[in-house]
């Protein structure tokens, strides 16, 4: 069997096993919150291995099918070894968030402090999204200016490939010594940089001021903790 590059994604399989159950009743069946199930169905987040196993058990389907779309009997471990050996790329942390050697030697990993690490992504996912691993960086969001969409310490995969700005998309922006995550609205005269809550000041950027702002890249994935 050849690898199916367009394998059905998890949120579609989850919707299939839910059948006619409401989100509330299905969440209760799986001992999870409605918010968690909604996030799974929207594709915002994906279940941990334990939760994936629990959903499979409650719905009477195999773990393998729920996770990958393949049934165990359909997978030839010899001829289709690519299913288990998809290359992994490790995405580096945004350079300005990397500690110095001195800081790294004393840094303690506590909540509120972004972990300094590389983020692994599968080559198949990159192909599906049309992304180049060499053009991606990992940025740890700080503060709640983009909350609830992006919360403090959420990880953000940023695509740094040069491209035209897309109205309404979220970008990592450098201004002088300030780094910010903002949604960009295009206007006839320039940009408007927006946050998601009332504490975030709206910033108007005229065309003549573009040179003072560096667009590092756009957000292509939000990595969230469930707890």
How many whole angstroms separate alpha carbon 15 and alpha carbon 120? 27
Residue 108 pLDDT: 53
CB-CB contact of 66 with 40 (8 Å): no
pLDDT number for residue 128: 86
What pLDDT, on the 0 to 100 scale, is given for residue 163?
A: 87
Beta-strand relationship, 136-140 and 178-186: unpaired
Domain boundaries, the chain: 10-83, 88-223
Spell out the per-residue pLDDT of the chain, length 227, in tens: 444 433 447 888 899 999 888 999 999 999 999 999 998 888 888 888 888 888 988 888 888 888 877 766 555 544 455 555 678 888 988 888 776 656 555 655 444 455 556 788 888 889 888 999 999 999 988 888 888 888 888 889 999 998 899 999 999 999 988 899 999 999 999 999 999 887 788 999 999 999 999 999 999 999 876 65
Distance CA 123, CA 86 (A): 6
Per-residue pLDDT at 192: 94
* CATH code for residues 88-223: 2.10.109.10
Q: Which of 162, 158, 227, 148 is nearest to 195 (CA)?
A: 148
Report cis status (omega within 30 of 0) of the bond before 148.
yes
Can you give the pTM of this predicted structure? 0.58
8 A C-beta contact, residue 139 and residue 98: no
**Radius of gyration in angstroms for the set of CA atoms belonging to the chain, rounded to a whole number:** 21
CATH number belonging to domain 10-83: 1.10.260.40
Query: What pLDDT, on a 0 to 100 scale, did the predictor assign at position 227?
Result: 57
Question: What integer pLDDT is reported at residue 44 of this predicted model?
Answer: 84
């Amino acid at each position: 069997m050849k690898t199916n590059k367009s394998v059905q994604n998890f949120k579609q399989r989850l919707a299939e096993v839910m059948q006619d159950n409401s989100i509330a009743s299905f969440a209760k069946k799986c001992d999870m919150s409605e918010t968690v199930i909604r996030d799974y169905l929207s594709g915002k987040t994906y279940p941990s291995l334990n939760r994936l196993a629990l959903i499979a058990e409650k719905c009477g389907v195999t773990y393998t099918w729920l996770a990958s779309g393949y049934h165990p009997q359909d997978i030839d471990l010899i001829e289709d070894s690519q299913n288990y050996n998809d290359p992994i790329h490790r995405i580096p942390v945004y350079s300005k968030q990397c500690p110095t050697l001195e800081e790294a030697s004393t840094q303690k990993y506590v909540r509120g402090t972004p972990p300094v690490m590389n983020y692994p992504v599968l080559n198949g996912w990159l192909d599906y999204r049309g992304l180049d691993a060499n053009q991606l960086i990992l940025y740890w969001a700080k503060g709640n200016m983009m909350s609830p969409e992006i919360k403090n310490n959420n990880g953000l995969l940023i695509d740094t490939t040069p491209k035209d700005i897309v109205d309404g998309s979220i970008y990592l922006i450098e201004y002088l010594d300030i780094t910010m995550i903002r949604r960009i609205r295009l206007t006839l005269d320039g940009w408007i940089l927006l946050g998601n809550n009332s504490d975030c000041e709206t910033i108007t950027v005229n065309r003549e001021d573009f040179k003072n702002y560096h667009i590092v890249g756009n957000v292509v994935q939000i990595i969230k903790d469930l707890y």
